[in-house]
Structures are given as C-alpha cells and as structure tokens.
Amino acid sequence: MTARPWRVLGVLITRLGAVLLTVMVQRGVEADPPRGAAAGDTPAARGSPTLTASTSITPTPTVRTTPSRTASPAAPPVATAPARTTPPSKAGAATAVGLRLRIPAIGLDRAVSGRGLSADGKIDPLPGRVMWFTGYDRVRPGRTGTAVIAGHVVAGGRSDVFADLADVDVGDRVEVVEGGRTLRYTVTSARAVRKQALTTDQAVWGANSSESRLAIITCDDALGFRGDGHRVANFVVIAEPG
C-alpha cells in the first residue's frame, strides 16, 4: 500500500514531461523559420517590384509664354512717318525763308516753312500753312533727295491750303520758287493711299540720292473716315523734274 502512491506519481511526472517536450518542439518550428526561406517566399509570390515611399517623381514644369502685343500708333492728321531707330527732329525747325510752292492747275501759291514732328509725334502742319517735313532724312524742296510737303484739307471746320489737292492730275506742273529762282516739276503720280500703307511707300520714304523729288501729301475723303474721326487715306502727289 505504501509504494503505490509513489508509482502513480512517477507515471504522472513522466507523462507531463512528454507533453511539455512535445509543446516546446512545436513552438520552436513556428517561431524560427530558416532565414531567407520563409513559407511562401518564392519568385512567383514576390510579383513585380513596386515604388517605395522614398521614390519621388519630379514633374517637368510647363512654361507659358504670353505673346507680346504691338500697340497701334495713333495716326496724325496728315501723315504718319515710317518707324526708325534714330530720333527725328522736333517741331520748331528752321523756317525756309522765301520758299514757295506753286501748283497752277489748282491756283495754289503758298509760302512753305520747315517743321518736324509735333509734340505728340505726328506730322501735323499748322492750320493755314504748308510745311516741308524736316525729319527722317527728307530734304528741303528743290534739293537732291525727296522733299515731303504737307498741308491740311480742312482745319477748324473750314477749307484749308490743300483743299483742292485731289484735283491735281498726272502731267500737271508744280513749281518751287526761292530767291528769284524757279524749279519746275511734272506730276508723275496722284493717288489716294491708305495711311498705314503710306508709312512704307518708297516714293515718299525710300532712299533717293539721284534727283530732286516732291512728295506732296494731305488727307483724302476717298476711303471715308475712321472711328476716331481721322480720314482713312492720304492723297499723295509725286512730282519730279521736267
């Protein structure tokens, strides 16, 4: 009777040790898989590489350019001079004392005075006066080169010096008188020209070092009026020696 309890206790201890050993072996397999060979770690399971949080993409900025705008210059009452890089002479240039312009076909006989651009940059003769333009390498009437002569058709609501210039025809005579000497010219062209086109008209603004030419200019009603009240066109008479 005395030995049986110890035998039972020994059996229980033996069985408990076996259970504990089995549990420890099972937990050890689950906790320590081989390094680099975890379950499911195969090339097929890895799939395609993905971008990590440290990978950044720098976008290319879009540069927008704004096209420049060229402001349209205001047209003068008579004519617009062509663009140039050197400063033109201003109003108040020397007066051509004793210089006169005659166009017998329209009964014109007027004194001519030299004048540059007006204060606001326009070819703008004084009312009741005929001017020769002193800027942009234009010459005094009668000299070799092209002389630009301008006058108004109407000023202050009344007819002005070139009111009848549009009646001049090709073949009419023009005279420049100075100091008792008369230079005679013949009209080779008489036409209405749009103000913008006049700024590049070579008969008026082109180089000329071979002869004395007159370009006589005023405003013209042939093409009507713009919204600002200025006429759309100029009337231009070209006269050359002969």
What's the mean pLDDT in 119-127? 89
Q: What is the mean pLDDT of the chain?
A: 73
Q: How many CB atoms lie within 10 A of CB 230?
A: 15
Q: How confident is the model at residue 74 (pLDDT cuts 50, 70, 90)?
A: very low
pLDDT of residue 62: 36
Residue 53 scores a pLDDT above 70: no
Taking only the tens place, the pLDDT of each residue in 161-212 is 999 999 999 999 999 999 889 999 999 999 999 888 999 999 999 999 999 9
Which of the pair, 100 or 40, is modelled with greater confidence?
100
Among 134, 161, 140, 147, CA closest to 77: 161
**Among the ranges 15-24, 148-157, 230-239, which has the highest mean pLDDT value?**
148-157
pLDDT of residue 233: 85
CA dist., res. 220 & res. 231, Å (int):
6
What's the mean pLDDT in 9-24? 57
Which of the pair, 157 or 130, is modelled with greater confidence?
130
Cβ proximity of 133 and 122 under 8 Å: no
Taking only the tens place, the pLDDT of each residue in 207-235 is 999 999 999 999 876 645 555 556 668 99
- The CATH architecture that domain 100-241 belongs to is Beta Barrel (2.40)
Among 139, 223, 236, 138, CA closest to 188: 236
pLDDT of residue 144: 97
Q: How far apart are the first and last CA of the chain?
A: 166
Q: Give 4's DSSP letter.
A: H
- Give residue limits of the domains in the chain: 100-241
DSSP 38-93: -TT-SHHHH-S----TT----PPPPPP-PPP-PPPPPPPSSB-PPP-SSPPPBS-P
CA dist., res. 82 & res. 42, Å (int):
82
Among 188, 161, 162, 163, CA closest to 173: 188
Instruction: Supply 230's token pair.
Output: 């200025």
